[in-house]
Chain A
Amino acid sequence: MSALALTARGRAGASQWLGAALVAALVGAAMLSLVWTPYPPGAIDVPHKLLSPSPAHWLGTDDLGRDVASEILAGARVSILVGVIAVGIGVAFGVALGLVAAAAKGLVEDAIMKLCDFTFAFPALLSAIMLTATYGPGVVNAIIAIGVYNVPIFAKLTRATANGVLAREFTLAARAAGRGPLAIAFDHVLPNIAPALIVQATIQFAVAILAEAALSYLGLGAQPPEASWGRMLSDAQGWMYVAPRLAVFPGLAVALSVLGLNLLGDGLRDALDPRLKARG
């Protein structure tokens, strides 16, 4: 192995560990906020508003005297909740639809894929706004909107990779052993496409966090007093000149989480792709 390849590989390794560390920090923050935050999240303390960072308030306080560090910890919870459920909806329905499409072929496959294209054609944020406008703003509706957007992504990925697996001889051999299409889809196809799905799930998780922040920023996601990074950004807007840090901290939290998930996704792709591994 050449020195160049070695350094390139070492760097790739470092970035995936950085990604894993950032994701661990995100998960850690959310878990920590369940049992402990410096101040109760959402607790208003007007006399101490707009304080600079200090030992008492590590990241300062906002315009209502809420402790920014506590809000950020609690905001991680919402981000993860949205990510897990929205990606979960996408995986559950998308993978099922994709597998059915690949197994059924013909008219059913065409119909499912056309439906996915139809859903895809609407800008995600726009459909989320439509949904929350109709059913009212809130975290639950934001989750549903982001989840719906994930369904066609996973359906398309599942169908494409499943068709690749179904073209391989062992699925024919499984049919020759008398197995039915459903059993083949779950026993033979799913494990073989799992790596691609895991990588995509990591990336969609990052997209979901961004989407939640955007929706909350627009006032369509988390509602006060619920802590959310997007809502914090929105609140910070009016104080940009007085206390820009109010926007910086939640912005950093969003950016680092998304960066971490993307790096982790890249690392997982490299680790799970046998072709890349063989080359190394």
Chain B
Amino acid sequence: MTVFYLPDLGEGLPDAEIHEWHIKVGDVVKVDAPMVAMETAKAVVDIPVPFNGKVVKLYGNPGDIIKTGAALIDIEGDNKDTSSTDKATVVGNLQISDTIVEELATGIQPSSNGAAPAQGVKATPSIRALAKKMQVDLAHCIGTGPAGQITVSDLENAAKSPTKVTTPASPLTKPTEDYEPLRGVRRAMAMAMSKSHQTVVPVTLVDDADIHAWPEKTDVSLRLIRAIMAACQREPRLNAWFDETHLALRQHPHINLGIAMDAPEGLFVPVLKNVGQCSAIDLRKKIDEFKTGVKNRSIPPEDLSGATFILSNVGVFAGRYASPIIIPPMVAILAVGRISEAVVAEQGKPAIHKLLPLSLTVDHRAITGGEAARFLSALIRDLQTS
């Protein structure tokens, strides 16, 4: 009998939810046949049968969350090792394999002695418990006790200071019974948004583009993509990733444009890769594919990662301006509101034009106000041409 463990499904997330089993206990299964559909943060991924055999046990039912690396299924298989002439032992059965050991270089060299790395917080368990109760982050305490350990009065001092930080509950602990845990896409959204709120310093700039000059039946999405490309050319620092640990910025030569899409399951952001290389027809086709993909949950994981800039169309239902939230490591996001007619001054006289409301959020840690304003100005200039 061999246990098959849930592999990483390619998104670096800690777990996946069982969506549907295609097989049941007792089935005789063939390698590569469909086995189970797993729901990850953004997609439903099919895992095939790993080897021939008979299903002995399933480690969960649809709806259960399985941790990456945890047991998924037991299959009694015919994957017994082919016995060589010398069984290499007279007792027992040695497993033979050509797997190469992969270790750090220190696995062969002894670890260096003495020089201990930078030490963290020094506190007894009772102080740690008290800090949790008082909602004080020990990292912000200065230890005045023996050997720099944190004392009760250090905690009290820290509690009075404005740097008091509430520690969020670990996502590994379980909620109480009357709460429904968020799953899949919603869970990913909650985590991404918390992270953004904890780290990004957002500043939002709003303005309108006068789109009076547009011909009938202009494709709004395509015009926006074109304008974003023009604006990125003017201010390339907005098409970048920010590494907050090292305070470093990585500018991208191409624009991978994430398109925020709403679905009953939550927020999806499929990515148009290298929009500068795509024709208008390709882009429209890809966007339509994403729309169907979001509905069927069939967008492959590789189409859901790697965005360098996000476009969010909030105005489909209502809303003119927004304060869109940046998803790290990106540094900017553009939200587009509902198009409306308004009276504008045209050569000293009132006229009725269509206006497209724009809201640009940038991460002020990486982007200056001037850069944001110049980006928005280049965007509007491109949108206002016919």
Q: Do A and B come from one complex?
A: no
Residues in A lying within 8 Å of B, measured CB to CB = none
